[in-house]
Amino acid sequence: MPRPLALVTGASAGIGQSFAERLAHDGFNLIVVARRRARLEALAKRLGAAHKTDVSVLVADLSTAAGIAAVAARAAAEPLELLVNNAGFGGYGPFLEIDPQTAEDLIAVHIRAVVQVTRAALPGMVKRANGGIVNVSSLLALSGSMLPGSGMPLRAVYGGAKAFLLAFSQLVAAELAETKVRVQVCLPGIVKTEFHDVQWLDATRIPPRMNPDDVVRASLKALAKGEVLCIPPLSDVAALQRLEEAQRAVLAVARTPDLAARYR
């Protein structure tokens, strides 16, 4: 039996590296994507030695059109069984002060790359009637109504991009419901990776963080169960059902051509 093949973006650190390690352990061959070649090559060597995994290193900067195109081309050309769109960074800070290029990079890495690589991978998966896509969003996708001072970072573009991934993934999953391809959006809480170091956040002020291996364990288990929305630390599944019911309730009463009385 040939080994199944997975492509993981952001595999040089953190959650992506944990995905690569777990998938190698589970018998997948891998295409690992990030900017830091040395890290990816060390990972490939380690996983090859430990699990006989065939790991292909794909160095790409997903904030650039060329990087996105290179990864999308591989996703279209290879018989992927799993695609993990995980690469990302925070770019936290006041929106009035965000460097416009950082805002563009956030949109490219978290939105443009995910849409294009998913678009490239899906036709083959649907044709083969086999495949899964995991889009790593964040619990902050749900945080739009929380005010500054709630202990969360200022995150307008990052939070907005992660909210895009939530709706995008749910909607693609719904379109593919009749196929054998599963799509999941994973919303980790705060996770112990390089994510916070990269942004020079004061490590002493970061709340307790989940182990990235637990995020991966939750995500793969949720994928096997066919859960579209995976929140690794959430025990109260009913809370999720209430959230989705509330969204549907707003849509149900607002789907009318009549102007609401308070706007007349």
Ligand X SMILES: NC(=O)c1ccc[n+]([C@@H]2O[C@H](COP(=O)([O-])OP(=O)(O)OC[C@H]3O[C@@H](n4cnc5c(N)ncnc54)[C@H](OP(=O)(O)O)[C@@H]3O)[C@@H](O)[C@H]2O)c1
Which residues lie near ligand X (CB under 6 A)? 10-16, 34-36, 39, 61-63, 86-89, 109, 136, 138, 188, 190-191, 193-195, 198
Beta carbons within 10 angstroms of residue 33's beta carbon: 31
Q: How far is the CB of 48 from ligand X (least distance, A)?
A: 19
CA angle (255, 257, 260) in 5-degree steps: 85
CB of 264 to ligand X, least distance (A): 42
Pick 118 or 193: Cβ nearer ligand X: 193
- The answer to whether 3 and 77 are in contact (CB under 8 A) is no
Distance CA 2, CA 9 (A): 22
Sequence-distant (6+) residues with CB within 8 A of 86 are 8, 9, 10, 11, 15, 16, 19, 134, 136
Among candidate residues 19, 158, 168, 195, the one labeled active-site is: 158
Q: For ligand X, which is the closer residue by CB, 130 or 144?
A: 144
Q: How far is the CB of 250 from ligand X (least distance, A)?
A: 26
Active site residue 92: no
d(CA 127, CA 64): 29
Smaller CB separation from ligand X, 126 or 152:
152
Contact 81, 131 (CB under 8 A): yes
What burial class does residue 209 get, using C-beta atoms within 10 Å of its C-beta: 0-12 exposed, 13-18 middle, 19+ buried?
Answer: middle
- Distance of CA 36 to CAs 39, 42, 60, 212, Å? 6, 10, 9, 19
* Nearest to ligand X of 109, 179 (CB atom): 109
Q: Which is nearer to ligand X, 185 or 191 (CB)?
A: 191
User: What is the C-alpha separation between 59 and 9, in angstroms, rounded?
Assistant: 10
Active site residues: 158
